[in-house]
Structure formats: C-alpha cells, structure tokens
Amino acid sequence: MSKFPKLVLMAALAMATVPVWAETYGIGRPALPEEIAAWDLDVHPDGTGLPPGSGSVEDGEALFADYCAICHGDFAEGVDNWPKLAGGDGTLADEDPLKTVGSYWPYLSTTWDYVHRSMPFGNAQTLTDDEVYAIVAYILYSNYLVDEDFVLSNESFAEIELPNADGFIIDDRAATEYAQWTGEPCMSDCKENVEITMRALVLDVTPEETKARKVKQLVNATNPRNATAQDKVAVVVEAPAEDEPAAEEATAELAMPDPEMVAAGEKLFKKCKACHQVGDGAKNRSGPQLNGIVGRAAGAVEDFKYSKPLKAKAEEGLVWDAEALSAFLAKPKTYIKGTKMSFAGFKKEGDLEAIIAYLSTFPD
C-alpha cells in the first residue's frame, strides 16, 4: 500500500473515534466563567464596568515615564509617528487636525478601557487598576483638563467630561442612506472631476528639510573639509573680500548657531510640539506659536489667550531673552507661579542651550 492511502486510512480511523455531537463540529467546550471574565473588560461612558481603585496625577507622571513615554513622549506629545495623546485643542476644523484625548475623544471611558486592555505595548494587561487610573489622570492633566493634585477614581470618573463629548452624532445611515446604495454600482465615469484634496506633506509622512539642516549646510559650505557634495550644491556662499577685517568674519561665525546644538534642540522640541508650533504656517495651539520667541516681549502673540500670571509678567516688562527663557524652561512653575504650562522643565543645562539655539532659527 502506498504512503498516501495509509494517511487517508489513519485520518478516517481518528475521526471515527471522535464523539460526534448533534449540530456541532464536535470540538471545543463552553467557556468557563473565569475565562469570560478575563475578556469582559468593557467600560461604558457612565463608568459602568469600572473596577474600584484610584490614582493621582503625581503617581501617573512617574508611571507614564516608565511605561508610556518611550512611544507617547514624556508629556503625551507623541514620539515620531506614535500617537499624540495631548494637545490639538481647537484644531478639529483644520486641514490637518490633531486628534487626541483632549481634542477629539468623546468619552474618558475609551481612554481607560484602551489603557487597561491594550497597554503597555507588547505587555498588555500587566498594569494594576490603580496604575491605570493614575496614567489616565496624567493624560487628563497633560491636556489641561485637571489640576496637578487631581485624583481619578471609579467614584470621581463620571465627573469628568471631555471637551468633544458633543462632537459626535448617532450613526443613522441604515435608516437614511442604505436605500440609496442598492442597484447596479457605477463602474466608469462616476465623477465629473477628480481632485487631489490632501497631500502626503500635510499628513506628516513626508519629511521636511529642517532649519537645522540648512544651518549645517551653510556652515559646511564655508568649510570645505566638512562639506559634502550635497552641501556644496545646496548653499552658495560668496567668499569674503580680501580687505574685510578678520574681526567681522569672527563676529559672523559667532552669530551663527552651532549646527550640532540646533540639531539637538530640534530633537528636544519634540517635547513641545503637542502644544507649540514653529516654522512656516505655525499656529497657536494650547500654547502660542514660537516664531521669533527669542528676544520677543512676553504675551505678544496675537489671538492667544495667555494665563493671568503670564499677563502680569508681561506688564512688568518680561522679555524672552536667552537668560529669561533658560530660567523659565528649567522650572516653568517656579519662574511663573500659576502658569498653565504643564511641562516640568529641562533638567540639563546643555538641553536649555540647545532648545534656545533651535528656537533662535525661527524669526518672526
């Protein structure tokens, strides 16, 4: 007998020994109550399904740094293409809206349920209930929705209403539209004109040439030992006249930000991007746009609603020179008591120099 008929015979004998249940495949068993409970994690908008527990913003900040910041940033501002969880206030009508917990999500239950069910990435459902409460509390704080002493619990949960709670409508397409979709589908010439309505650049998937890169090109073009072929093509720098004083050359070099420092500052600015914009087309978000911030009078951006403490500083004549920016960005809540900015501050002196160097490359 060949090998193939033997395999068929063995399979038939094996099937003959399996109990055949009426109207079933004869495999599996009913799920046990504890197995169902492990998957029955739904939390409703009114808090139904929440387990008892609580967590503070303070505890959540430490937990967020340990479990979440690697993808979502220290301040929920997002890292690279990982989701931003904070910011985006007032952007939903923009061409490129920033959809976060604070700007877009309608119910806090969605945040709690998702963190509880799916996070941390690659190690889901390892957080305790209290840790989930604390992390969600910190996300609320990062969106300026609660104060720094706030404690989220199953009892206080229903008191939190997200800004976009009324921004959704009931899906009534089954009653209003499905009837229109019957019949033969259109397969050609279905639309008179086809237009491009969105480009990859707007979707943040096409990298832009950064100002740090431009500064690097400018510096390298003046120093042939460092310049690449691309640098030499990108920037044409006229050679100084022979009779120009050497002191003027030195002054020009000193005025140009160190390209490495600017590049480091650009990376650090990722901590600020959830709330602030720079560059062409920069808009106010939950924080003002920062073009021209170095040397600008405090509270000078039009159409931005500054906090009362900052307005008071502005009336006292505060100017954001390098010294003032350095002091503020080191300890914002100490420098301006009552500031709405939740950023804890840059801890390293080198970071302060780098972020100011980067900001200095964006004039008004």
Query: pLDDT tens, 285-297?
Result: 778 889 999 999 9
Looking at the domain that runs over 257-359, which CATH code has it been given?
Answer: 1.10.760.10
Between residues 165 and 197, which one has the greater pLDDT? 165
Q: Is the pLDDT of residue 161 over 90?
A: yes
Q: Is the pLDDT of residue 221 over 50?
A: no
Please state, rounded to an integer, the average pLDDT across all residues of the chain: 79
The whole-number pLDDT of residue 213 equals 46
The whole-number pLDDT of residue 268 equals 85
* Ranges 107-116, 199-208, 246-255, 300-309: which has the least confidence: 246-255
- pTM for this predicted structure: 0.48
Contact between 287 and 342 (Cβ < 8 Å): no
Among residues 77, 71, 59, the alpha carbon closest in space to that of 135 is found at 59
Q: Is the pLDDT of residue 304 over 60?
A: yes
Q: Is the pLDDT of residue 214 over 80?
A: no
What are the backbone dihedrals phi and psi of residue 193, each rounded to the nearest 5 degrees, phi first? -130, 140
Distance (Å, rounded) from C-alpha 104 to C-alpha 86?
A: 10
What are the backbone dihedrals phi and psi of residue 56, each rounded to the nearest 5 degrees, phi first? -95, 160
Query: Which helix (H) or strand (E) element contains residue 141?
Result: helix 129-142
Q: Is the pLDDT of residue 177 over 80?
A: yes
Average pLDDT over residues 24-51: 88
Between residues 59 and 23, which one has the greater pLDDT? 59
Question: Superfamily for 54-159?
Answer: Cytochrome c-like domain (1.10.760.10)
Between residues 9 and 133, which one has the greater pLDDT? 133
Between residues 205 and 151, which one has the greater pLDDT? 151
Q: Is the pLDDT of residue 223 over 50?
A: no
Query: Using 50, 70 and 90 to split pLDDT, how confident is the model at 342?
Result: low
The whole-number pLDDT of residue 43 equals 92
Query: Using 50, 70 and 90 to split pLDDT, how confident is the model at 28?
Result: confident
Report in angstroms the alpha-carbon separations of 228 from 102, 137, 213, 225, 239.
Answer: 45, 49, 12, 9, 18
What ranges do the domains of the chain cover? 54-159, 257-359
Q: Is the pLDDT of residue 347 over 70?
A: yes
Do domains 54-159 and 257-359 share one topology? The answer is: yes
